[in-house]
Structure 1
Amino acid sequence: FLADKSETAIIRHLLGHRIPGAPALLDSAIINCIDCESWEVSIAGRFLTEVGLVTFDSRDLQGLSSPGAYAENIFKQAYFYHCRLTKNAHMQNLRYCRGDPERNRFGCTRFVSEQELSQVLNSAFSWPIDVHKPKLGFCPVIFLGHAIHNDLRMLHESVDLSNEAMENVVATIDTQHLARAAGLDQQISLLNLVTCHEFAFRDAHTACNDAAYTLFCGIMTALARELAPLNNGSPNTAQDVVDTMEAYSKVNSRPTFGRRDYCTKCNSLAHQRRYCRVRVECSKC
């Protein structure tokens, strides 16, 4: 059904602006917005270091009377997860794609093994339509990203995603395509897209930050016409809403997987690098 539908039409359908004749199954769709970061300086290839996952169930939007100014009410239905791959967590980009994973702004960071990361992502793509009626199968999934081919490549190279889980993906949406349909640049950067929506692109190249900004921009772009009067009548700015979401997501998105504490300096499981007082000497240096 979605094969001949535009990406803008698909995401608008999930946000309450229905496509005529859409199957009822699409009313149970999940949006998974993902960003991946990797260590960019190795001649041996890229090493996946982080995955940011922002996800929400479109059924949770059905009770909303309004998206809210700058889509705040929609954003509050999302859950934000920042996964750092423990074995590669010490690898930080200081030159290319410079970022600091310890400056995550959304949700809570968890250190995970490769197996745990696979379990988290396979679960995210395998949401039961009804946990009490397993025969109904799984929710259709919309995969959202910015320049999404890069993230898909990193996931397939580094994460053991099951074929069964990925078969639930019924559409991919790229915010570059949404922006182009809205009359913006052909291959707009996430920085420029964020700037168009008038909020700050803070602590970029940290996976969950970029995933959050991608979701915000995707929804703001798709609902620009409907949001305009709400935005104009609001005392808040887009930046106010993003700031609110930073705090809200840390309380509302509590992961049950992974490990909160891991030191990328001394490998301790009792503290994080910022609190490390251990003297470490590197034989290679």
Structure 2
Amino acid sequence: MSAYHPIGIFDSGYGGLTVLKEIVRKLPQYDYIYLGDNARTPYGTRSFDTVYHYTLECVQHLFSMGCRLVILACNTASAKALRNIQQLDLEKINPDYRVLGVIRPTTEVIGNYSKSGEVGILATKGTVTSESYLVEIEKFFPDVKVYQEACPMWVPLVENNEYMSAGADFFVKKHIDHLLEQSPAIDTLLLACTHYPLLLPKIKEHIPNNITILSQGEIVADSLADYLHRHPEMDEQCSKGGQIRFFTTDSPEDFSRQASLFYGEPVQAEKLSL
């Protein structure tokens, strides 16, 4: 197939690169476009309506660049925008296009990791307020108890390259303590924001050894591989040239410099003007 139809990966900033890294590791043969809306980050503190409109605008740009399948590699966008885009917009844009999120793949498996049946969610305020994880986990694991903790400072710590600082220790410990105070039986923690894997060394310092920590990258990559296997009509449309392009709505120089922290190797970004 000669047509260029990459898989689009969208995030409000850099965090989705931790998901893209695992997707490319699992499915290196596909073409990808990554779009970070850095000019308008963070999404986690914004209203549902604002996140929906920002996300839709970026998804439409990815469609215009050839993508027919877009992954919202952002928990806030998945919580606040995905359903509206799927139910209200795709039929008008193109009913054959698809937009997927990161919440459902995670909630489909999270109960399998917990022996106590009690899991903790660490997320942005927007994701916690949406209660998306409570609703989705209930569908797949109705007996699992879910506890949530909003961590409003974690994304700024990561975005400002302060995630290894003493200040990071304070805020990481504060929110983990708040979460674990809700129940001593929590044995599984989900990092329900794609920025949070960079805080993993700090997080591990403040939790008991018996608690399993889940990041979303590998889970989402496995889910995408399964989706493409189950939907060969979409798989056939996705071009397979092994190319990756990176776009940001802010400074491409700043993005390229910061992105390697999340992606694990050098990144050369291009500017996308909305």
Per the TM superposition, whether the score is higher than 0.5 is no
Bigger Rg, which one: 1
Structure with more of its chain in helix, by fraction: 2
TM-score (norm: length of structure 2):
0.31
TM-score (norm: length of structure 1):
0.30
